[in-house]
Structure 1
Amino acid sequence: MNPNLYIEVPECLSPEQLKMMCELEIDAFGSDGSVDEYGIIAIVRNGRLIWLREEGDNRPVAVCELMRDYKQCDLAYIFGFYVRSDKQGRGYGRILMNHVFDLVRQDQFSEISLTVKPSNVAAVKLYERMGFRVAEIRKDEYGVGSDRYYMVKSLVGD
């Protein structure tokens, strides 16, 4: 990994960081799935917020919001995953995802999953290259016309 890059897993957020996260969410997802301040706080306190940081930049270059599946305790669920719009196309998503895999393996997860908009071709390709497969298509997952691929990756023997 680039020596100027590092991983940070905040356990709480300052008001400035919370505002920054809301702005990054809007940048990444617009009105189509961005998490508000209440959701971000819940993720930080009850899941994991994972940042890929670059020295000299006060905002993360990539973000992963991670939760545990309640019904299948060895399944980690990526609630949100994105690279800042001004940093896309530089391999940051792959770098962060590899760190996420390491973290969830350390926490004894055997699978990891996520949902992604089928029209988000770049994200779907990244996830497929990282070993995810489409397990199902969820019609109207986030409302009428808001379909998602549900993608899963086994971490066993990987």
Structure 2
Amino acid sequence: MIGRWFYPAPPRVSEAEREDFPIMAELHELSFVRDWSEEEIASLMAGDGVFALVTRRAAPTASRRPIGFVMVRAVADEAEILTIAVHPRWRGRGHGKLLMEAAMRRLYADRVLNIFLEVDAENGSACALYERLGFKVVGERKGYYAATGKDGEASTALVMRREMTPPQRPLKGGLGAGKT
């Protein structure tokens, strides 16, 4: 159609697969001073309650290579965001938010009550994203991130938590069950 605007398909979120681990390691290296190797990612992924989600471009002709990922560990009714990374070229386009929302939906369905994460206090864009997603600062670890602070000093990690309300199961028999 003439004059019709075509927008690129939104990125897709899917479960990380073993063949994604090398790219996840590359993304982590591009995002953090202390990178994680492919072996470290594989070891974490082998742990109980650990899952990872990746974003990929959705266009049929686009590469299937992940452009971002989030790794999460859930135990009982609590979860921790272990790491999240988006390729620098794709930052600021909603990939981090998309990954976090997908992880939170999964954790909500799994009846997780609290999600924790740590973020560098100097990473303003990440802090703002987490606050928009309902995370609150519940503590801090001074000097946690080595050599990332101003003037080469160690920076503070903010410990953030988001309380989740699990879906309620309906009472057997519907509303008013058991009343006479």
**TM-score scaled to structure 2, two decimals?**
0.74
Q: Alpha-carbon deviation of 1:3?
A: 4.6
Instruction: Give the alignment of 1:26-105 within 5 angstroms.
Output: 26-29=29-32, 32-46=33-47, 47-55=50-58, 56-69=62-75, 73-105=76-108
Structure 1 residues 19, 146: closer, same or farther in 2, change over 3 A? same
Q: Distance in 2 between matches of 1:143 and 1:94?
A: 26
Query: Do structure 1's residue 150 and structure 2's residue 159 form an aligned pair?
Result: yes
**TM-score scaled to structure 1, two decimals?**
0.83
Answer whether contact 2:122 2:155 (CA < 8 A) is retained. no
Q: Which runs of 5+ in 2 are unaligned?
A: 1-7, 148-153, 168-180
SS at match of 1:139: strand
Answer whether contact 1:43 1:49 (CA < 8 A) is retained. no
Q: Alpha-carbon deviation of 1:142?
A: 5.1
Question: Could you tell me which amino acid in structure 2 is paired with residue 43 of structure 1?
Answer: L
Aligned to 1:21: 24
Q: Alpha-carbon deviation of 1:59?
A: 2.1
Instruction: Give the alignment of 1:124-143 within 5 angstroms.
Output: 124-141=127-144
Question: Could you tell me which amino acid in structure 2 is paired with residue 40 of structure 1?
Answer: I
Larger Rg: 2
Answer whether contact 1:48 1:67 (CA < 8 A) is retained. yes
SS at match of 1:24: helix
SS at match of 2:93: coil
Q: Distance in 2 between matches of 1:42 and 1:146?
A: 27
Q: Distance in 1 between matches of 2:31 and 2:65?
A: 13
Q: Alpha-carbon deviation of 1:44?
A: 2.1
Instruction: Give the alignment of 1:2-21 within 5 angstroms.
Output: 3-10=9-16, 12-14=17-19, 17-21=20-24
Structure 1 residues 143, 5: closer, same or farther in 2, change over 3 A? closer
Q: Alpha-carbon deviation of 1:43?
A: 2.7
Answer whether contact 1:43 1:66 (CA < 8 A) is retained. no
Q: Which runs of 5+ in 1 are unaligned?
A: none
Structure 1 residues 77, 6: closer, same or farther in 2, change over 3 A? same
Question: Could you tell me which amino acid in structure 2 is paired with residue 58 of structure 1?
Answer: R
Structure 1 residues 44, 84: closer, same or farther in 2, change over 3 A? same
- For these two proteins, the number of residue pairs brought into alignment is 149
Structure 1 residues 45, 136: closer, same or farther in 2, change over 3 A? same
Q: Alpha-carbon deviation of 1:139?
A: 2.1
RMSD of the TM alignment (CA)? 2.2
Q: Which has the higher helix share?
A: 1
Instruction: Tell me whether 93-102 or 53-62 shows the greater mean CA deviation.
Output: 53-62
